[in-house]
Structure 1
Amino acid sequence: MTSADLSIIIVNWNSVDYLRNCIASILANTHNIKYEIIVVDSASYDGCRDMLKNLYPQVHFIQSEYNVGFARANNIGAGYACGTSVLLLNPDTEVRSHAIERLYSCLQTLPHAGIIGCRLLNSDGSLQTSGVQPLPTIANQILDAEILQRWFPKSSLLMSARKFEGATSPVPVEAISGACMMIQREVFDQVRGFSTDYFMYAEDLDLCYKICMAGYTNYYVADAEIMHHGGGSTQHRRSRFSEVMIPESTSRLLRKTHGHSYSTGYRIALSVAAVFRLILLSLCFPATLIKLLAYEWWRGAIDKWFVILRWGLGLEKWVHEYDAGLSGGKLNESEKSEKTDE
């Protein structure tokens, strides 16, 4: 394809089944836009190449020989894009109704439009609150808890998609989830795409920050819905890898936006919060013995905050192994492009 209105870029990592359904939903629900689909496989080799060749030969497939991370893989896909606009879409999503066409229309008509995001739904159809987020600060990261979001759904400090339930028109927001982000190609290029300072997590917040600093406005469109199954690549229960990389990536972002001292303050504050939560969880232990589900929740919470405390104390040293890859080197070699019909 030599030109398109929209390039849909999907980064795959061990999500071939989700990817198949994602592409099927795009084709079934998007008809009034000239678009292309680009899939970048970040060295998962999970059979997606053969699946695309057999079912969707029109999809442009790019194989990376190394797992270069979410940000770099999206940038690779954008390098092959022909569209005047770009949709960055997770493989574990399914488009509902005319969501993509609605987002595209808003992108063309909203003033100073930066990133356009949609209403994300969980697999059971409930609202996925992380579709809208505030740019991180120490305060909102320490207070980031589902129960607080339920108690204070309209809080700007704890901003989530709950605040905009019932909105009938696009609303300006600070940050949009990386599961679904639509942006003009020239704006994406202007801010040099995703920052490769992050292997995973926070790169979407970083992009939203750069868009705001460039003078554009990010918008949330509540009447465009996409189902985001969540955890398609990392499983539903967060791994130790995720629990460490999330605060590590957030710390890097805070260092960029607020300075080194602020980032250090975040690490200290999160460590103190981890100690506090571990104490509370320990006091709750007798009550968890009544129900198996309660115990499973308690065990998961203990594991999470123990790992976060270790990270805060600098004991998860393996995280620094990603620094070399993020600065270039081996991760930047040998990305190969090949269409599935070749």
Structure 2
Amino acid sequence: MKKVSIVTVNFNQPKVTEDLLKSLAEVNNYPDLEIIVVDNGSKANPVPEWKERYPGILFIRSDENTGFAGGNNIGMAHATGDYLFLINNDTEVTADLIGKLVDSMEANPKIGMISPKIHYFDQPGMLQYTGYTPMNYYTCRNACIGQFEQDRGQYDFLTGPTGYAHGAAMMISREAWQKAGGMAENYFLYYEELDWCERIKKAGYEIHVNLDALIYHKESVSVGKRTALKEFFMNRNRILFIRKNAPGFTFLLFWCYFMLAVVPRNIIQYIKNKEYHFIPVLLSAITWHFKNKPDSKNLGFPLTR
């Protein structure tokens, strides 16, 4: 039986994380598990209390918020499993989830990473993910297959290779992780798991989805409130992803598309919605690339807890 290390990251959501831990306690058909929880610089440190309440779990405290990639990288550095299963703290698992993912990876050594089918937790039967289409590198656009549809099994035939894993739930083999490395922490938010999948594929592995395995995600179906932080990283990282992963001429064509189509459209939308403060945020996301190399650790945005 291969050992699985489950890694999740908490940031100011102790109750949500505790609900996940209760859910993991019900995984009764996979005996060799370790659970690692990284607190990513929360305002109130929950780790001392958690260590008393959950003695069988490894809790790690980071004094600063290192982002989605950084928090997971901290957890993976402490993992001892043959497979590392990264899940969002706002998920709840099904009893046979882990066993089914491991079985898929054991049956096919080409698989470097695999995600399960994802349902919205608060919308019974509604799909969030059954795979991703490939990326269009000229526009940096792709699609999440099945999202917002009722699950009637209409995509279950897609089990196998897919464009990308889903950041809410992705299992990677230790071998693939060691060859590809961890997630790039300078993304901080958004696009980091897509970039990671690209490096895993370049290391010689495939990205798969197992639609017999299911996890529930508490992410809201409605679009979350736009913030300056979200606008900055969504735009900066969209450019960064293509800059890192596309050939030079393709990046040039993408840059023309972004500057001639995306930027005017976004600015018009900001003005229409009277969100004038987002205009300098967008411009800052663009100018970051003139000042920084693709692997720069300068995030370009002031972070607060």
TM-score bracket relative to the smaller structure: 0.7 to 0.9
66, 72, 75: which one pairs with 1:74? 72
189, 205, 226: which one pairs with 2:194? 205
24, 44, 50: which one pairs with 2:22? 24
1:65 equivalent in structure 2: 63
1:166 equivalent in structure 2: 155
Normalised to the residue count of structure 2, the TM-score between the two structures is 0.80
235, 239, 264: which one pairs with 1:247? 235
Please show how residues 20-99 of structure 1 align to structure 2 within 5 Å. 20-99=18-97
Q: Is the 8 A contact 2:232 2:284 kept in 1?
A: no
Distance 2:111 2:119 in 1: 23
SS in 2 for 1:81: coil
1:139 equivalent in structure 2: 139
Q: Is the 8 A contact 1:252 1:263 kept in 2?
A: no
Deviation at 1:240, TM superposition (A): 2.3
1:327 equivalent in structure 2: 297
1:107 equivalent in structure 2: 105
Unaligned runs of 5+ in 1: 142-156, 286-298, 330-342
Distance 1:27 1:89 in 2: 15
Cα deviation per residue 1:189-215 (whole Å; 9 max; x = unaligned)? Answer: 111121233222111001110111111
Q: Is the 8 A contact 2:10 2:39 kept in 1?
A: yes
1:340 equivalent in structure 2: none
Q: Which AA in structure 2 matches 1:7? A: S
Q: How many residues align?
A: 290
Normalised to the residue count of structure 1, the TM-score between the two structures is 0.72
Rate the CA distance shift 1:270–1:230 in 2: closer, same or farther, 3 A.
farther
Cα deviation per residue 1:27-80 (whole Å; 9 max; x = unaligned)? Answer: 112432301001111111444314522432211011111112221221221111
Distance 2:203 2:166 in 1: 19
Rate the CA distance shift 1:277–1:195 in 2: closer, same or farther, 3 A.
closer
Rate the CA distance shift 1:187–1:206 in 2: closer, same or farther, 3 A.
same
* C-alpha RMSD of the superposition: 3.6
Cα deviation per residue 1:142-162 (whole Å; 9 max; x = unaligned)? Answer: xxxxxxxxxxxxxxx645245
Q: Is the 8 A contact 1:33 1:101 kept in 2?
A: no
Deviation at 1:88, TM superposition (A): 0.8
SS in 2 for 1:88: strand
Unaligned runs of 5+ in 2: 300-305
Rate the CA distance shift 1:110–1:238 in 2: closer, same or farther, 3 A.
farther
1:196 equivalent in structure 2: 185
SS in 2 for 1:121: strand
Cα deviation per residue 1:270-292 (whole Å; 9 max; x = unaligned)? Answer: 4523534776899xx8xxxxxxx
Deviation at 1:23, TM superposition (A): 1.2
Deviation at 1:319, TM superposition (A): 10
